[in-house]
Amino acid sequence: MTRKSLIVGSGLGLLALVTGCSRSAAGAAAPSPSASAGPHAWSYDGAEGPEHWGTLSSDFGSCSSGTAQSPIDVGGRSGLSPAPLAVDYSASEGEIIDNGHTTELRALTAQGITVGGKEYAFKQMHFHAPSEHTLGGVRHEAEFHFVHQADDGGLAVVGILARVGATNAPWAPFTDGVPAAADGQKVPAGVVDFPALFPASLDHFAYDGSLTTPPCSEGVRWLLLETPIELGAGQLATLRAAHAGNSRPVQPLNGRDVVAVDQ
């Protein structure tokens, strides 16, 4: 099994249980930061857009009243001591599913991470185009969220930014399958080289935040990789054609610590 390592700040808070669940490929309930929560309609524009999420349902109150919301603009450093996180992925058969707000990639064999001795199982990866987080005010063409869940329900999300460049072959099983999943059917992705989806550098920013879609539940551990990957113009166009503008605006930091960790 291929192994990569990251570091996160040990001062980050405990992860909270969240609502708004989807089903993982293995059949266990898995929270999805991009999935709709219950029957309440929400969108990325108009009367059901992000500025109105908090008023659409009593379940969505954190979207407007929360003080540790995501995404944020990241940059700078703090004095928190780092603690190790091991990311353990291997090549696996995958499947692609469109949930109406984004397209997800799931692995058919177990993948996972360990953060400071706590284990999290990989549940799904999904995208936002353009990116939700910004680096020093700069927004990228896309952002991918690798969602992990611990036995207690807590979430740890690894974010990877993407910019236009050369066609990225390891990402082709996902980007090629996105259009076929648009009708809501599960689409086989074939063998996905999950370790190759990451950039060469794992320098990253870590902070405590929230789901970036309703119900905007807080207590989510975020690890945003500083180095973006490159995707071909056609690959990015495929993502935008499936879900254009599915990105929440940047939220106030409200004094939270953001740990910049060099690998």
Catalytic annotation, residues: 101
Beta bridge partners of 149: 121, 155
Give CA–CA dist 211/18, Å, rounded. 9
Task: Name the maximum alpha-carbon separation found in the chain.
Answer: 48
Report yes or no: 137 and 115 within 8 Å, Cβ to Cβ: no
Cα angle vertex 8, ends 86, 193, to 5°? 40
Q: How far apart are CA 13 and CA 235, in angstroms?
A: 36
Record the tokens describing residue 196, joined without a space. 């190759």
